[in-house]
Amino acid sequence: MFFLKELTHSINLHPQFFGPQIQACLIQRLHAEVEGTCSGRFGYIIAVVEVVEVGKGVLQSNTGFAEYKITYKAIVFKPFKNQVVDGIVTTVNKIGFWCEVGPLQVFVSQHLIPEYLKFDPNANPPAYVGHGQEFGDAGARVEKGETVRIRIVGTRVDATEIFTIGTLKEDFLGPSQIAI
Amino acid sequence: MSDSGTGTHEPGLKVVNVDASHYPLQIINWTDAKEVDLDQEIGRYEYLDDSNKTRRGIIMSNCKGIIENPPTVLDLIESIETPICFIREPCSHAVQLHGLCALCGQDLTRVHYSGFSQASRATINLTHDSKGVTVSTHEAGRIDSENITRLLNTNMLTMLLDLDQTVIHATVDTTVKEWLSDPDNPDYPTLKDVYSFTLPDHPTIYYIKLRPGTREFLEEMYNLYEMHIYTMGTRNYAFAVANILDPTKKYFKDRILSRDDSGSFVHKSIQRLFPVDQSMVVAIDDRSDVWNWSPSLIKVRPYNFFIGIGDINEPLKENSIEPIEKDEKAPKGPKPKPKLCDDDSELEYLIKSLKNLHKQFFDHYKLHDTKNDIGKLLPSLKSRVLEGVHLVFSGLIQIRHDPSTHDLWILATQFGAKCYKDLNDQVTHVVATKKGTIKVNQAKDKDIWIVKPEWLIDSLSQWEKLKENDYLLDSSILRLVNNDQMIPVNMVLVNDDWNTMDKEVDEALLDSDDSEDTEELQPTLKPEIEQQSLCLKIESTDDDDDGWLNDEIDDILNNSPTVASVVQDQTLNTGGSSGTILGKRKLEQD
């Protein structure tokens, strides 16, 4: 789920940047250091929206760097259990498939894939293919690049990584025609 | 007190029992609860101890779940064979992702106070990537057997194919770039099949030469074998090469295992991809040591196109099979000779052997309806090739090494030959690099084939015992004497012939100035021979030879009645002043 969160970040700035452009430099560094990272607590920081406050820089007597505490607002993404999301399939193999929900990688195990989707290793690319009367020719396929709707079953956070497990074994889940 | 029983009847269903010495026991109390947590009291029992005193014990649950088949109070349980009850676990946690159960989503990293870690129930990684999905042994067995059924139904076996020096040869030598841009260069035509690519984040250009016959090999094998790439290169390297070999992803799809994902820099193992059932897998590699001489491995001759480069990805090795090579000096002339040659035909023979293996396997399957095991079928097919051959090596294995660990010894034994350290009555072949060694001399008197190592190596690659007459060591002497004719030698020598032969040799040598005979393995006789009986001149190029060389020399000096003069030539230093290996050869040429 996406949130708009107010966070703080401290930057140690080298004296060579002490000049008229110091604010711009700090904001640039903030964007570079924070966007795209993941923390266990807040999730993935997608983008910095605005900079609320740039504190006063405190000079460190031992190194000469100036430490700035920057408060900013950012869009963060954190997955939650039981949430339903849309993802794009990246890898398919015999024990399940991986899909990407934004910056997050979700693994769906073969045990949580419904019976009508069977793994076909000879397809190019390998895919889970739907068998059954309702499918006919335009069968539902889970293959690389397809959009799929999954429910998140569990998450675990490490210091800088989030591991997620998803399932397809419910109504209205599975490969969908919605383009992301 | 009771033990938490760890015995399982099947995954998901756990058996509850107590200490074996407490049986027979009687249940006196049982919980009403149907669903229990780990380490919860679920009942009490009474038993008689050694001194016939009545004692009581507590029954604890050994996992979280639902109780099945609970006993009733006052039940008597005779022995540990009968479980007190079962607990059905809601989830066996058989598939895990970095400590997260992929089946129920539970976080498994929290270790229970008893020390049991749920994460240890799934430790096998059998995918081609290293994203962290692991499975339990039971699950791996299930996946493997599904795989086997599918393969049997589609009449296919599995092949693990190495890249470097098996189907390609790679180099980063910039001399290739120079050659490629210069059409007048003599090597230009042989380089027309060289592909190049760069890896992300690195400026170095890799040049790849496909082994002759690679594309035909892939096309023919793709219908009989499901092919995987198993290489010691990095993931980027493996994908780049796969892109060249297989641009439409027809042969390998995404079945590429690089060293980043295989978990080891020095060892390869079939169990990495097929942990439980390896009976339908064949591995093909130019090295057997990294596979720990697995019985399912077919070792092919390493493909060396770019001279002196070797394998840019593989770990160091000790014993090399090819006889110690000498630097070849091409004759200086108006047109320099091309240095690269493209005449390898190993893959043709490999196609034949693999087709045969496939046929044998599936014929057996159709006939008996039980599948064979490649780990047994392959060695039995191999051992027919050199059946009846008893051989001794000379000049190939350094004395300080245990010969039975040498690659060639092991390979020959796999193919049905018997190898010995010294000559005895049963020996039928002496595989030698040079004439004049102790073993060669001993063998000359007997009815034994004295052949070059190429005989053995070629027989091993063609899976056929080749005609020894084409590989005789001594035919070279005859060539010196009779410059025009090549007379095949019948190896049964009578002693009288020695003297005539010696005289002829002396005459010929005094006549000819030319000591260069580039078709021979090495020129061992130099013009300056003085004695009447056969003299031995032994040349060495590397310091490495000193190990076996000195021992052989000692042998000769001590045992042979004639005097041997030994000349040790220290030829070129291996460290050249020009940068690259191919460039150095270019310099020598010019």
Average pLDDT, whole number, for chain B?
A: 77
Which residue among B144, B164, B187, B277 is the active-site one? B164
CB contact A14 to B (< 8 Å): no
Of B458, B186, B184, residue with least CA distance to B340 = B186
Q: Across the interface, do A105 and B131 touch by the CB < 8 Å criterion?
A: yes
pLDDT at B52: 86
Task: Give Cβ neighbours of residue B408 (< 8 Å, ≥ 6 apart).
Answer: B319, B321, B393, B396, B397, B453, B456, B457
Per-residue pLDDT band for B111 (boundaries 50, 70, 90) equals confident
Sign of the torsion angle spanned by Cα atoms B115, B121, B124, B127: negative
Q: What is the pLDDT of residues B476-510, one digit of tens each?
A: 433 333 334 444 444 444 555 677 777 777 877 77
Mean per-residue pLDDT, B180-202: 82
pLDDT at B394: 85
Per-residue pLDDT band for B106 (boundaries 50, 70, 90) equals confident
Query: How many helices and strands (H and E) does chain B possess?
Result: 14, 24
Chain B environment of A105 (Cβ under 8 Å): 131
Burial of B192 from C-beta contacts in 10 A (0-12 / 13-18 / 19+): exposed
DSSP string, B388-422: T-EEEEESSS-TTS-GGGSHHHHHHHHTT-EEESS
Burial of B549 from C-beta contacts in 10 A (0-12 / 13-18 / 19+): buried
Mean per-residue pLDDT, B53-62: 87
Chain A environment of B249 (Cβ under 8 Å): 124-125
**Longest CA–CA separation in chain B, Å:** 111
User: How many angstroms separate the CA of residue A96 from the nearest CA in chain B?
Assistant: 10
Instruction: Write out residues in chain A with pLDDT < 50, as ranges.
Output: 137
**Longest CA–CA separation in chain A, Å:** 75
Per-residue pLDDT band for B40 (boundaries 50, 70, 90) equals confident
Mean per-residue pLDDT, B396-407: 81
- Written as six digits, the tokens of A1 are 């789920």
CA distance B59 to B4: 8
Q: Using an 8 Å Cβ cutoff, are B564 and B557 in contact? A: yes
Q: Across the interface, do B126 and A125 touch by the CB < 8 Å criterion?
A: no
Mean per-residue pLDDT, B146-151: 91
CA distance B217 to B548: 40
Chain B environment of A122 (Cβ under 8 Å): 154
CA distance B309 to A28: 47
Burial of B223 from C-beta contacts in 10 A (0-12 / 13-18 / 19+): exposed
More confident call, B266 vs B544:
B266
| Greatest mean pLDDT range, B72-86, B233-247, B496-510 | B233-247
Weakest-pLDDT range from B271-280, B395-404, B472-481: B472-481
Measured N-to-C along each axis, helices B453-462 and B407-414 cross at an angle, to the nearest 10 degrees, of 50
Per-residue pLDDT band for B242 (boundaries 50, 70, 90) equals very high
pLDDT at B423 over 60: yes
pLDDT at A76: 95
Query: What does pTM read for this prediction?
Result: 0.74
pLDDT at B478: 36
pLDDT at B114 over 90: no
What percent of chain B is modeled with pLDDT above 90?
22
Q: Using an 8 Å Cβ cutoff, are B298 and B378 in contact? A: yes
Tell me, what's the ipTM? 0.85
| Greatest mean pLDDT range, A48-52, B109-113, B420-424, B573-577 | A48-52
Q: What is the pLDDT of residues B363-376, one digit of tens each?
A: 999 998 888 899 99
Strand partners, A69: A10
Measured N-to-C along each axis, helices B346-368 and B453-462 cross at an angle, to the nearest 10 degrees, of 40
Which residue among B50, B129, B162, B514 is the active-site one? B162
DSSP class of A111: G
Cα A49 from chain centroid (whole Å) = 17
Residue of B96, B133, B261 to mutate for A, most A C-beta atoms under 10 A: B133
Terminal C-alpha separation, chain B: 88
Q: How many CB atoms lie within 10 A of CB B309?
A: 19
Per-residue pLDDT band for B555 (boundaries 50, 70, 90) equals low
Weakest-pLDDT range from B72-86, B90-104, B311-325, B545-559: B545-559
Task: Give Cβ neighbours of residue B479 (< 8 Å, ≥ 6 apart).
Answer: B486, B517, B520
CA distance B392 to A123: 52
pLDDT at B523 over 50: no
Q: Across the interface, do A107 and B131 touch by the CB < 8 Å criterion?
A: yes
More confident call, B197 vs B397:
B197
